[in-house]
Every structure is written in structure tokens, then in C-alpha cells.
Amino acid sequence: MEPLALVRDAPVFKKVLIANRGEIAVRIARACRELGVSAVGVYSEVDRGAYFLNYLDQAVEIGPAPAAESYLNGEKIVAAALASGAEAIHPGYGFLAENAEFAELCVARGLRFIGPPAAAMRAMGDKLSARATMQAAGVPTVPGSVAAVEDLAGAGTEAERLGYPVLLKAAAGGGGKGMRRVERAAELAGALRACASEARSAFGDGRVYLEKYLDRPRHVEIQILCDQHGAAIHLGERDCSLQRRHQKVVEECPGPAMTLAQRETMGEVALRGARAVGYSGAGTMEFLLERGGKFYFLEMNTRLQVEHPVTELVTDRDLVIAQIRIAAGEKLAWRQEQIAWHGHAIEVRIYAEDPEHDFRPAAGTVAEIRVPGGPGIREDRGISAGSRIPFEYDPLLSKLVVRGETRGEAVARLRRALAEYRLYGVCSNLPFLQLVAEQPEFVSGDYDIRTLEGFPRGSASTDLVRLAAAVAAARVHRDSGAGRFRSGASRWRAAGRERAMRPAR
């Protein structure tokens, strides 16, 4: 008789360096600890004392605050790994995660890169070559030009062939950057010039191509895992259609527009695409899904995604542990038929941004934080009370993920969790997320990639504005001596608070 308990050998590495910060550094450190792997962190000057460092076994300061001099400096990170005796580097997402040269640098210095081979990253990094490779592998792509457009005349011909509106895209772009929608022929010349110059300055590569602009599709992506021995599985989809400025805000699984058959079809196509580039590790194939079920390859993210917890909650599989085991050369522990999906998970991203002022970035210091708990809640957080939120990096503070037996239960849980959440001293998009959770399109699941554009931003209620004014007046009155604090309020404490409330530098 087979024993019921599943026992797996302890792996793999003794020490892993995490080349990232914030919530994802915490997430990776947790996986390391569960594996019995020692986790080494890196941090910039402005991240001294940052929350994520509490989760690491050791940490190395690698340079000044600007990312180019710290988290994006591959040489310094590799040097820190070698000096600390780490055998592998986990890049997280962002920063160096999709940098093929960095992956090669790691290998050249005798370190494992916890991610796909550099060749697979390159094949997927250039959008034009990725489209060609996917087409050859039988993966449907959005109708568009096969090569970069040479000039305005060429672009005009292509746009007429595809039919307006069209999308201009930078061949070297990604993550929604370097894109422009063109409604009619008259706008083409200006848009082409702007797109090419933006692409040159952002990516050092001015090549631009055209795609047909699809009418209100959904963004549905497939999570895959491939080992280095040819095994590959998918873990289903995430619907990430609710985006603002191409930045994802809400993600969920199952996708509201999905069926089991659709999941299987898209999963198989995603694996075909991954095999075509010799992929290994965790990756995500992003698709646009039209009403009626037609779908088109958009791009591949050759790394761990921000929204991976959604998949972890419904499949009960740890993707980060899987990544580390795969990089160590282990065989994939799961066959496709062992993957099952239970319940419904929804993630919202909590950003340091001001919804009342066009979502502008809002660095600062967290004065106090109270996080939700109870059934069905997971939070992957990179901050605590006293955390300074530097302006140098991504504004993602935390990911709140809920799970319920049904979508309805998950939505109710999300609303409950958002109502429990309290973040003091900094601006965040929490009030906006609460509004999103109330919108009929979200509640019904009938949304697409442009739905969020039409959602209300929600300004503070008149009552709240009046309350704030009253509190400020009462505080000034007390400070003026008319009613100095009696109840033993410590001036030390007040001084400490005042320091904590100064804007971050």
C-alpha cells in the first residue's frame, strides 16, 4: 500500500540570493525557509531597515537608491552572491528578471539563475521574433505586420490592410510600454513618430510594428511550469482584464469567461508556445480573449508574475518552491492530470498612489497599518508600520488575495477584507479598490480590458473632509496651550511621530 503522506527530499541549494525588494523578496524568502535554504538579500541605501529584510537570513548592501546603481546592477548582485556563498539567484519580477544578459552573467560566474534559459528569454523578449516563433508553432497571434514598418507609407499600407483602429507597438517593448492606439489614417504620421522616438529612448530600439486593435477583449493568461527534462504542465488561467494604464489592478481565477474546455485549449496552446522556445521554469503566456472564445498570443512573461498567488490558492501548489526545485535540476513533481482547481481566488494590488489626483505616485511613511485576517485571506505584503516608501521604485505595497468556494463568496470576502484594511499616513488606492469591488461589472464578472477606464475614482466624502478639518482644528487648539495634553502624552512619543511623518527622501 502507498502511504498517504507525500514525502519529498529536501533539495537542492544551501543558499539562494534574492535579487529584489519589497513583497516579492518576502515571498521568495518564505519559500526558501520552507525548503531549508538559507536566503541572502540585497538592498539599496534607501532600503536600509526595510521590512523585507526581516525575512532574510543575511543581507548585503549593494549601492545607492537609484535602481540602476543597485537592484539593476547585475555585477554588484553577482558579486554579493559569490561573496556570501550563494549558489543561485532568484530575480523575482521586474528589475533583472527578464534580462537575458544577467541570466548569462550568472551562469558564466558559476551561479544558477532561477528562471528560464537566456535563449528562451531572448526569443520571447523581442515582440516581432516572438510573434514569428509563435506563429510557426501554431499559436494564434493578433493580426498584424510580420516585420517592423520601414516608413509612413509602409505603415499606411499595413494599417489599411488590417483596418483601423490599429495599435502601434515597439518591437522591444513589453508590459504595456511603448504602445499607441491609432483611430484613423490622419493620426498615423504623428503616432508613428512619437512611438518610434519613445521606443528609442525607453528601449534603445526604435523598431515599431502594427497590430489590429481588438474590440474590448479580455486579458487572460496561462501559468505554465516546465522542468529541464522536457516535462511541462499548465496551471490554468488568470483573468487580468481590470487594468489601468496597462497596469493590472485585479486578477482572478477561474476567469469569469472561461469554461473547462477553453482552459484546456488555451493551456495546450500555451505549452506548445513554451516548448517552441525550449522553456524551463515558471512562465506566463498572455492572451487576448475575444467574446466567443477566439484568443491571440500577446506576449510571454519569462518569470514569476506578481499575481501568481491567485493560481497558488486555487491549485494548492507553491510556484516559487517549484521554480527553485526546477532550477536545481529536479524533475517536475506533478503531472497535468494531478492539477485540479478548487474554489475561486481574487487578488487586488495595493499601490502607493493617489486616486484623487489621477493616481499619481505617493511616496511617504506608513504611520500605522491594520491588515485583514480571518477565513480565506492571504496577504503578501512589503510594508509595516514605520516603513518608508521610496519614490525610486515600483509603487506596489501589497497584494491582498482572497479565496472562496464560489466567486460570490470570494467577492464578499474581498469586500469584507478591504473594509477591514486600514493604512494610515500614506495615500493608497484602497478607497479606489473598495469602489471597484462594488461596481456591477466587477460583481457580475462581465468586464474587459477597458472597463476600468469608466469606473469612478471616488473622492473623499464631504463628511470625511469636515471630520479632517475638525480634527486639525482640535489639534491646533490643544497645541496652542488652551488645552495642552494632560493624559501623560509623552513629548518623546510626539517627536518620534513627527519624525515618522516626514516625507521619505
Partner 1 sequence: MRWRIQNPEGGEQQVELVAVEGNKFKLRIDGQPATLELLGVPEGLCKVRWDGRVQEIFVARNGERIAVSAQNRLFLLAVSDGRIGPEGRSKSRAGGTLRAQMPGRVVKLLCQVGEVVSADQGLVVVEAMKMENELRAPAAGTVRRIAAQPGLAVEAGQVLVEIE
Query: What is the set of active-site residues?
Result: 303
The yes or no reply on residue 375 touching partner 1 (CB under 8 A) is: no
Which of 49, 360, 405, 450 forms a contact with partner 1 (CB under 8 A)? 360
Closer Cβ to partner 1, 289 or 363, answer by number: 363
Which of 356, 375, 406, 408 forms a contact with partner 1 (CB under 8 A)? 356
The yes or no reply on residue 147 touching partner 1 (CB under 8 A) is: no
The yes or no reply on residue 467 touching partner 1 (CB under 8 A) is: yes
Give burial (CB, 10 Å; 0-12/13-18/19+) of 47.
Answer: buried
Candidate segments 77-85, 205-213, 273-281, 354-362, binder of partner 1 by CB under 8 A: 354-362
Give the position of cell 472564445. 293
Which of 282, 313, 362, 402 forms a contact with partner 1 (CB under 8 A)? 362
Closer Cβ to partner 1, 216 or 370, answer by number: 370
Q: Whose CA is closest to 211, among 174, 245, 173, 179? A: 179
Single-letter code of the amino acid located at 270: A
Candidate segments 206-214, 252-260, 408-416, 459-467, binder of partner 1 by CB under 8 A: 459-467
Closer Cβ to partner 1, 186 or 480, answer by number: 480
Give burial (CB, 10 Å; 0-12/13-18/19+) of 454.
Answer: exposed
The yes or no reply on residue 68 touching partner 1 (CB under 8 A) is: no
Q: Give dist(CA 441, CA 251) in Å, integer.
A: 14
Q: Is the dihedral of CA 171, 300, 447, 452 positive or negative?
A: negative
Closer Cβ to partner 1, 332 or 363, answer by number: 363
Which of 49, 361, 375, 456 forms a contact with partner 1 (CB under 8 A)? 361
- CB distance 39 to 19 below 8 Å: no
Which of 426, 436, 449, 452 forms a contact with partner 1 (CB under 8 A)? 426
Total chain residues near partner 1 (CB under 8 A): 60
* Residue 336 Cβ vs partner 1, minimum distance, rounded to whole Å: 37
Give burial (CB, 10 Å; 0-12/13-18/19+) of 220.
Answer: buried
Site for partner 1 in 220-259 (CB under 8 A): none
Closer Cβ to partner 1, 113 or 421, answer by number: 421
The yes or no reply on residue 310 touching partner 1 (CB under 8 A) is: no
* Residue 434 Cβ vs partner 1, minimum distance, rounded to whole Å: 8
The yes or no reply on residue 343 touching partner 1 (CB under 8 A) is: no
The yes or no reply on residue 194 touching partner 1 (CB under 8 A) is: no
Report residue 186 CA to chain centroid gap.
Answer: 36
185: alpha, beta or left, given left = phi > 0 and alpha = psi -120 to 50? alpha
Q: Give dist(CA 451, CA 434) in Å, integer.
A: 16
Closer Cβ to partner 1, 293 or 361, answer by number: 361
Task: Write the DSSP assignment of 16-62 as a string of letters.
Answer: EEE---HHHHHHHHHHHHHHT-EEEEEEEGGGTT-GGGGG-SEEEEE
The yes or no reply on residue 329 touching partner 1 (CB under 8 A) is: no
Q: Do the strands 38-44 and 15-18 form a parallel or antiparallel pair, or are they unpaired?
A: parallel
The yes or no reply on residue 460 touching partner 1 (CB under 8 A) is: yes
| Peptide bond preceding 254 in cis form (omega within 30 of 0) | yes
Binding mask 382-421 for partner 1 (x = CB under 8 A): ---------xxxxx-------------------------x
The yes or no reply on residue 472 touching partner 1 (CB under 8 A) is: yes
Three-state SS string over 450-473 comes to: CHHHHCCCCCCCHHHHHHHHHHHH
The yes or no reply on residue 494 touching partner 1 (CB under 8 A) is: yes
* Residue 50 Cβ vs partner 1, minimum distance, rounded to whole Å: 15
Single-letter code of the amino acid located at 50: A
Closer Cβ to partner 1, 206 or 425, answer by number: 425
Binding mask 20-39 for partner 1 (x = CB under 8 A): --------------------
Cell of 263: 482552459
Give the position of cell 528562451. 120
The yes or no reply on residue 427 touching partner 1 (CB under 8 A) is: yes
Task: Write the DSSP assignment of 290-357 as a string of letters.
Answer: -TTS-EEEEEEE-S--TTHHHHHHHHT--HHHHHHHHHTTPPPS--GGG----SEEEEEEEESEEGGG
The yes or no reply on residue 66 touching partner 1 (CB under 8 A) is: yes
Q: Which residues are bridge partners to 169 per DSSP?
A: 179, 209
Candidate segments 114-122, 162-170, 299-307, 353-361, binder of partner 1 by CB under 8 A: 353-361
Q: Whose CA is closest to 420, among 369, 474, 469, 360? A: 369
Residues forming contacts to partner 1 in the complex (CB under 8 A) are: 66, 352-353, 356-357, 360-364, 367-368, 391-395, 421-428, 430-431, 460, 463-479, 482-483, 485, 487, 489, 493-494, 497-498, 500-505
